[in-house]
Amino acid sequence: MHIHIINPNTTASMTHAIHQAAELYTSTGTRVSASQPEAGPVSIESHYDEVISAVGVAEEVLKGEHKGNIDAYIVACFGDPGLLAARELTRAPVIGIAEAAFHMATLISTRFSIVTTLSRTGIIAEHLLEQYGFRHHCRRIRAAEIPVLDLEHHPDAAFKRIVEECCRARDEDDIGAIVLGCGGMANLTQEISQEVGIPVVEGVSAALKLAESLVSLGLHTSKHGDLAYPRPKRFTGKFAALSDLRLPLK
């Protein structure tokens, strides 16, 4: 099977790191590819960033549908930007890393805490917990107070801050697991787990295994109801090229 990871920001080095991290967990016979939008924010740290990046996510799914050889998609930003819109565009499963991580964490613990980058992105994670129905499982959302790109530009300092917050969560929150709240942390999971000593759930790997399971079970995104293909219509201005979209493309 072919699983395609979409990094919703435009930082190619982060896309590469996410891709490498995912390949550590692929099953035999699974191929993983990755891309990022051509335009959009270099990192995603606000509602504004998310809404702009969601357009790029949709465009990357459409590119995949034109190619016609992708069995599942992963949206590799913890805000899950554009997730439902992406699901409208394809029959393939589309997995957001936050939703995947929440599911996985509840399978191994009754309560977890989230360790994310900035306090404001923690608020966004809180909204997702409510939306997905996991609020009562999450004990606390903690922020390491590092910009997302510090994971690229100052990796040692960023790692130290993340581990410190994970250890505080372990010692203070009365939890069984920790969820890492940023796709850019994907390549740090094993090292963080060793430092912290309790289960650490990271969304990219969680989404990968869920995607593999759905494809193996022959389950696809339902086209009955609100995730049916969007109706073709005219778009104007910079989005004119998306006018009269006829789906499915393959």
Q: What is the pLDDT of residues 120-165, one digit of tens each?
A: 999 999 999 999 999 999 999 999 999 999 988 898 999 999 999 9
For residue 49, pLDDT over 70 is answered with yes
Q: What is the pLDDT of residues 195-216, one digit of tens each?
A: 999 999 999 999 999 999 999 9
Whole-prediction pTM value?
A: 0.96
Residue 249's pLDDT is what?
Answer: 82
Residue 62's pLDDT is what?
Answer: 97
Q: How many residues are listed for the chain in this entry? A: 250
For residue 193, pLDDT over 70 is answered with yes
Q: Give the rounded percent of residues in the chain with a pLDDT score beyond 90.
A: 95
The helix or strand, by DSSP H or E, that contains position 166, with its residue range, turns out to be helix 155-172
Report the chain's mean pLDDT, rounded to a whole number.
Answer: 96
Mean pLDDT, range 164-176, rounded to an integer: 97
Residue 152's pLDDT is what?
Answer: 87
Residue 250's pLDDT is what?
Answer: 63
Domains of the chain: 2-96+206-242 (3.40.50.12500), 98-203 (3.40.50.12500)
- Rounded distance between C-alpha atoms, residue 210 and residue 216, angstroms: 10
Locate 236 and state its tokens.
Answer: 């104007």
3-state SS string over 193-227?
A: HHHHCCCEEEHHHHHHHHHHHHHHCCCCCCCCCCC
Mean pLDDT, range 42-61, rounded to an integer: 97
Is the peptide bond prior to 232 cis by the omega test (within 30 degrees of 0)?
no
